[in-house]
Amino acid sequence: MLNLDAINHEFPGGNFLISKDINELINNSTGMIDNDSDGQKYSHQIFSMIALNSIGYSLEDLFKFLKYDISKGPMLGECNVIFFSMLEIDKNYKVSGKIRSIEFKKSKKIGEIDIVKFNVYIHEDDFKLLSIEYKLILPR
């Protein structure tokens, strides 16, 4: 049984810096040919999702907090990102987030599952730059 007290829980939050090296690593590991003619000012847009590593919990911590055994193989169901700005290389950003809901469902494919929805936000000072909605599928 998941920790239902996790609903509305706000993540501790953290900071997020995209170095040129980590941007190149991600570009290389995804086959991205960088065509940023502005001297690599902007990072790969997928750092919007990578910011999940800076919510103040590791993924392992997050699943522990949810009281979920990660060895059962959690999966990503949906992810929706809204960009109010592009993320720049070598700039420090703040990351925050909140667990919105936990639902139980029976899946035809994988049996009984819990669905956890949470939001992550990336800020610069007081300005929200990105909003990311996650939907995790947790097989029981």
Binding site residues, other proteins, CB under 8 A? 22, 25-26, 29-33, 35, 44-46, 49-50, 52-53, 58-60, 70-83, 86, 139
Dihedral pair phi/psi, residue 30, rounded to 5°: -120, 0
Nearer to other proteins, 6 or 46 (CB): 46
Q: Give the list of residues 6+ apart from residue 125 with CB closer than 8 angstroms, or none.
A: none
Nearer to other proteins, 5 or 25 (CB): 25
Shortest spacing between CB 9 and other proteins, in angstroms: 19
CB of 75 to other proteins, least distance (A): 7
Q: Name residue 55's amino acid.
A: I
Write down the least CB distance from residue 99 to other proteins, Å: 18
Over the range 34-70, which residues count as b (16 or more CB within 10 Å of their CB) and which as e? eeeeeeeebbbeebbeebbebbebeeeebbebbebee
Residue 6 or 32 with smaller CB distance to other proteins: 32
- Minimum distance from residue 133 beta carbon to other proteins (Å): 9
Among 111, 140, 10, 3, which Cα is nearest to 63's? 3
